Amino acid sequence: MSAARRPEPVLEMTGISKSFGGNLVLSEVDFALYPGEVHALVGENGAGKSTLMKILNGVCPRDGGSIRLTGRELHIGSPHDARRAGIGMIFQEHTLADHLTVAENICLGREPRRAPGILDNRRARSDATALLEAYGFPIPAGALVSRLTRGEKQLVEIARALAASTRVVVMDEPTAVLSLSESERIFRIIGDLRARGLAVAYISHRMEELALVADRITILRDGRRVYTGRYDSIDTAGIIRHMVGRRITELYPGLPPPRAEVALEARGLDGGQYRNVSFELRRGEILGFAGLVGAGRTALARGIFGLEPPARGSVLIDGRQARIPSAAAAIARGLGYLTEDRKGGGIFPDLALAHNISMAGLDRFSTGPFLKLGREAGRAAELTGRLNIRARSAWQPAGRLSGGNQQKALLARWLFAESGILLLDEPTQGVDLGTRAEIYKLMRDFVAEGGAILMISSDLPELLGMSHRIAVMRRGQMVATIEAAAATQEEIMRQAALDRT
Amino acid sequence: MRAIFNRFLPFASLILLFLLLSLGSPYFLTLGNLSSVIRQTTVITIMAMGMTVVIASGGIDLSVGSIVGLTGVCGTMLIAGGYPVALAVVAAVTAGAVCGALNGAAATFLRIPPFIATLGTLGVYRGLTLLVTGGMPVANLSRDFGALATGSLLGYIPVPLIFLLATAALVQFVLKYTKLGRYSYAIGSNPEAARCSGIRVAPYTVAIYTLCGALVGLAGMIESARLVTGQPTAGEGYELRVIAAVVIGGGSLRGGQGTAYGTIVGALIMGLLSNGCNLLGISPFVQQVIIGSVIILAVTLDEFQRRRIR
């Protein structure tokens, strides 16, 4: 389809600029959406994608530029305005009200009424049920959102956004927490939306996904638009080059062979969400854990780390039986756990970056109850430098750092605590490519020095590229352990999803 | 830049208030007036020191006013029974620590939100005080006990000021240089992350409330010394002024923030406001409106800053 014969764009953002406190985040960015297209928006973290979409959704005001909807100037001062204009948005972070039901969340802000001020709960319930069924989401409309898994919450989020969208849908990493089959359902829905003539703006870090859905692509770097074109006019290497402004020759650094000694051994671990799990993790080894969301991988890692200790089974560290009833005990035995939930269980938002880094290792930096502040600050600064954590100073509150830098700070926390065995849960989730490469290199160095890593990941290329062996979990059980060098994405998926396909 | 501005806002407000009052009333800048401001605010400030640590850890202690009454009565009963003042002070501090430990235990082991747990002990501690005394004040106390509140060192320095400065130095030291302090901020900022970082949240929480209770016990003795009686109703309603002092001084009820020097500034702002209103002849009714508005203003500014971090 040539540009001349194209219909008018449904949405046209031109010359959008925005700065936060003197920091230019967007500079004269143009972005247009045509009816019936999926337009990928990519860029590293901090490139301005989310800000651009927040401006479109009225969450934050723009400094300059214009937004036109079907040719008419559009005033968007709040998310409500955006909804009325038929623009729906699926956010990265959850925006559901936990204590309300699925139906109440879906109808939030446009509840059906019996009379002014009186809600029609029955209709809300039946509307929501119809909507969920239409999209094939197996979620009861009456369930409390707080009872749902992360993947299910994301599906509710999507259903809610679609209910309000008549012209434009913005999806900000909609599949980040979804299993493969759930993701595939989303891709089918995107296909439907396209066929109905809606325009979809799609933000994602996963190249494989973009190849499946995108018609066109716009690449942002440092708040500027550096490329717009048909998706098939550019290859992955080209996209990455535009995103980072330099070449990343090898994303995965290559791992040295593991040593003989076993660092961590699990024997017959039983917990709420996993059964009879046994494995050995050697020094110098990265053992990947594959599986669908809800397969029990996170529960297993939290169990080993003593957060919710397993009901049965034993854990051996360096060949010796280890009783680990709490995180404190786990840390004392040299374990470290990088949570998948950075905001919930990782970062202390009001505390200084340096104090975030040192939090799990203060026992070594204190005499009795008294802290050795000088030595602590020195070691934290050293790690900040080594991990290339970008912050204004070591005293900047960690809540103000970007997601990638927060993730590096959490890794630094376990290096500070001198953990020898790391349990990493989705270590590169929501992290841009440049930072990902840095994290991989760090993991390589860590195992090269004799550390051991258990890595849970839903990113198959990452599992293949950064593990020695891959253990596959399905419904709480370990169903296979595969040498990464001999494995394929298809085989892992088949093992992970056997009874669902 | 803005962070620095926010951080020093309480200090700047205090200095501004000081200057305005110096210009507004000729009596303000007299030794007598300033030392009476100190004497009036000491009890609240010492209590607020303990509350600073509790609030930094994301907790709250509504029972501090009742602990003032209970510990004051305990201490004065010993003095009335002929024991030395120093021993009575130690006993009051210990009684306060026990009260605090019970608060902390209720909040952690019974898993009750601290607001509710200490709302309960507010009633329990006050009721116990009234039971023990039969509602009658403990009187006939020795004169040297009164010196705890009314005495001066070297002729000028009020004795309570010494206690205040020592307490503030202790709390600031704990917050900055000890694991207890660091973990208080951590638990207040993100309790789940604190647990995942291997912090033993329950015993540290009990320790935090115990420290608060002990300092309140000291304040209870100074309050009784000021009245030279053990009033079973002493300290009623103080909890709100104490919380206000912490919040005006930069503490946040959502935890993770607060410093001892900030709290001193917060308490002094409240003290100067009421002193200034008295000097300028503003009615006590209007005073309440002013102080209430200042609290709302302080929390609003705090929320504004928070939203940028989270």
Alpha-helical (H) ranges within A17-149 are 49-56, 79-84, 102-106, 121-135
Angle of the A433-448 helix axis to the A236-244 helix axis, nearest 10: 90
How much is the pLDDT for A1?
A: 43
Detail the DSSP E strand segments found in A232-391. Answer: 262-270, 277-282, 286-291, 312-317, 320-322, 335-338, 366-367, 370-371
Alpha carbon of A406: minimum distance to chain B alpha carbons (Å): 12
Alpha carbon of B11: minimum distance to chain A alpha carbons (Å): 21
Q: Closest partner residue to B309 among A326, A332, A397, by Cβ?
A: A397
Cα–Cα distance between B114 and B255 in angstroms, integer? 13
Alpha carbon of B133: minimum distance to chain A alpha carbons (Å): 39
Alpha carbon of A122: minimum distance to chain B alpha carbons (Å): 35
State yes or no: pLDDT of B310 exceeds 70: no
> pTM for this structure?
0.79
Q: What is the mean pLDDT of chain B?
A: 90
Q: Closest partner residue to A399 among B179, B182, B310, by Cβ?
A: B310
Q: Give the number of A-B residue pairs with CB atoms closer than 8 Å.
A: 91
Q: Closest partner residue to B186 among A332, A359, A417, by Cβ?
A: A359
Angle of the A150-164 helix axis to the A121-135 helix axis, nearest 10: 100
Alpha carbon of A346: minimum distance to chain B alpha carbons (Å): 5
Asked if B256 is an interface residue toward chain A (Cβ–Cβ < 8 A), one would say yes
Cα–Cα distance between A15 and A67 in angstroms, integer? 9
Contact predicate A357/B200, CB 8 Å: no
How much is the pLDDT for B148?
A: 83
Contact predicate A144/A152, CB 8 Å: no
Q: What would the pLDDT profile of B231-264 be if each residue is shown by its tens digit?
A: 999 999 999 999 999 999 888 888 999 999 999 9
Alpha carbon of A139: minimum distance to chain B alpha carbons (Å): 28
Q: What would the pLDDT profile of B276-307 be if each residue is shown by its tens digit?
A: 988 888 888 888 898 889 888 888 877 776 66
Report the run of H or E that residue B220 belongs to, with start and end.
helix B201-227
Of B46, B54, B70, the residue nearest B241 (C-alpha): B46
Tell me which chain A residue has its CA closest to the CA of residue B257.
A350
State yes or no: pLDDT of B101 exceeds 70: yes
What percent of chain B has a predicted confidence (pLDDT) above 70? Answer: 96
Q: Which residues of A touch B (CB under 8 A)?
A: 21, 305, 307, 326-328, 330-332, 337, 339, 344-351, 355, 359-360, 362, 366, 369-371, 373, 397, 399-400, 413, 417
Report the run of H or E that residue A216 belongs to, with start and end.
strand A216-221
Q: What would the pLDDT profile of B174-230 be if each residue is shown by its tens digit?
A: 999 999 999 999 999 999 999 999 999 999 999 999 999 999 999 999 999 988 899
How much is the pLDDT for A2?
A: 44
Q: How many other C-beta atoms lie within 10 A of the C-beta of residue A86?
A: 17
Which of B184, B196, B302, B307 to substitute to test the interface with A, most A CBs within 10 Å? Answer: B196
Asked if B309 is an interface residue toward chain A (Cβ–Cβ < 8 A), one would say yes
Angle of the B260-279 helix axis to the B2-24 helix axis, nearest 10: 30
Cα–Cα distance between B77 and B54 in angstroms, integer? 29
Q: Kindly determine whether residue B196 and residue A345, on different chains, have CB atoms separated by under 8 Å.
A: yes
The predicted complex's ipTM stands at 0.89
Which of A350, A371, A393, A400 to substitute to test the interface with B, most B CBs within 10 Å? Answer: A350
Cα–Cα distance between A286 and A6 in angstroms, integer? 50
Six-digit token string for B233: 């109703």
CA distances from B310 to A409, B301, B306 (A): 16, 15, 6
Q: Kindly determine whether residue B177 and residue A371, on different chains, have CB atoms separated by under 8 Å.
A: yes
Report the run of H or E that residue B161 belongs to, with start and end.
helix B159-177
Q: Kindly determine whether residue A345 and residue B256, on different chains, have CB atoms separated by under 8 Å.
A: no
Question: How many CA atoms within 13 Å lie on the side-chain side of B194?
Answer: 25
Q: How many other C-beta atoms lie within 10 A of the C-beta of residue A378?
A: 12
Contact predicate A225/A29, CB 8 Å: yes
Alpha carbon of B159: minimum distance to chain A alpha carbons (Å): 29
The listed range with the strongest mean pLDDT (A138-142, A490-494, B39-43, B121-125) is B121-125
How much is the pLDDT for A442?
A: 94
Q: Closest partner residue to A351 among B2, B256, B310, by Cβ?
A: B256
Of B261, B238, B241, the residue nearest B250 (C-alpha): B261
Alpha carbon of A195: minimum distance to chain B alpha carbons (Å): 39
Q: Kindly determine whether residue A350 and residue B309, on different chains, have CB atoms separated by under 8 Å.
A: yes
How much is the pLDDT for B93?
A: 97
Name residue A268's beta-bridge partners: none
Maximal C-alpha separation, chain B: 58
Chain A residues within 8 A of B308 when measuring between CB atoms: 400
Alpha-helical (H) ranges within A254-402 are 297-304, 327-332, 342-345, 353-358, 373-386
Q: Could you tell me what percentage of chain A is helix, strand and coil, using 3-state DSSP and rounding each to the nearest 5? A: 35, 25, 35
Of A334, A304, A324, the residue nearest A419 (C-alpha): A334
Q: Kindly determine whether residue A327 and residue B198, on different chains, have CB atoms separated by under 8 Å.
A: yes
Ordered per-residue pLDDT tens for chain A, 501 residues: 444 456 789 999 999 998 876 667 888 999 999 999 999 998 876 678 888 988 988 888 888 899 998 888 888 888 888 888 888 888 766 678 888 888 888 888 777 777 787 888 888 888 888 888 888 788 888 888 888 877 788 888 888 888 777 789 998 888 777 777 778 888 888 898 899 889 999 988 777 788 889 999 999 988 889 999 999 888 877 887 787 765 555 678 889 999 999 999 999 999 888 999 999 999 999 999 998 777 889 999 999 999 999 999 999 999 999 999 999 999 999 999 999 888 888 999 999 999 999 999 999 999 999 999 999 999 999 999 999 998 888 999 998 888 888 999 999 999 999 999 999 999 988 787 788 889 999 999 999 999 999 999 988 888 988 999 999 998 889 998 999 888 887 788 778 876 543
Contact predicate A437/A443, CB 8 Å: no
Q: Closest partner residue to B192 among A21, A344, A349, by Cβ?
A: A344
Contact predicate A38/A214, CB 8 Å: yes
Cα–Cα distance between A318 and A454 in angstroms, integer? 15
Per the model's pLDDT, the better-predicted residue between B274 and A305 turns out to be: A305
The three-point CA angle B251-B256-B261 to 5° equals 40
Chain A residues within 8 A of B257 when measuring between CB atoms: 350
Q: What would the pLDDT profile of B148-181 be if each residue is shown by its tens digit?
A: 888 887 777 888 899 999 999 999 999 999 999 9
Cα–Cα distance between A224 and A243 in angstroms, integer? 11
